[in-house]
Structure 1
Amino acid sequence: MSKRDDYIEKMKLQLDKTNTKMNELDAKAKVAKADAREKYEEEMGKLRQQSQRALAKLEELRVAGEDSWDTMVAEMEKIRDAFVHSFKYFKSQL
């Protein structure tokens, strides 16, 4: 085999090796995207649940009597604060 053939063969091996590594990285990236998408959907589900809880508590507050108003307001504020905090944290992770 000539030097030229040796050189071409070595280059081909190096390029094939690099292409194989690129394909591996591409596969990992696709998996990571799927994982990220699953995590996103999971966290959005949690946020939606918190939102529904807050809306339900708001409805309870709307129909609450004067005697339970102060307690209901304190509970509503806790639920709202937890929801807002969770949303801000989620948004910061994007």
Structure 2
Amino acid sequence: MSYDWNFPSNCYGTLTGIGEAGIETFKGTPYRSLAREICQNSMDACADKSKPVIGEFSSSRINRNNVFGERTLKKLCKPVWNIGMMEITKKRLDFLIRP
């Protein structure tokens, strides 16, 4: 079995940018917000609602060159970055380059 990045189409739905309200929600507390979103999605997708959903989190740092499928990910993200740069504002730039 091979693994790769997959970004499903939004079926010609509305494109939202970096200033979209959902993005703003995550910016202030990214780890807390991400954990909450993951837990919510896990509970929503639970196959057996009579059993608890258990989520475990750990933190680690990796070199960006060691990210799974790094070349593919860069290739897929480049068009998004280019679109974002056409609509750049200081607020968006701060979000994109923050550590």
Select the structure of larger CA radius of gyration: 1
Q: TM-score range by the shorter chain?
A: under 0.3
Bigger relative CO (Cα 8 Å, ≥ 6 apart): 2
- Tell me the TM-score normalised to structure 1 length: 0.25
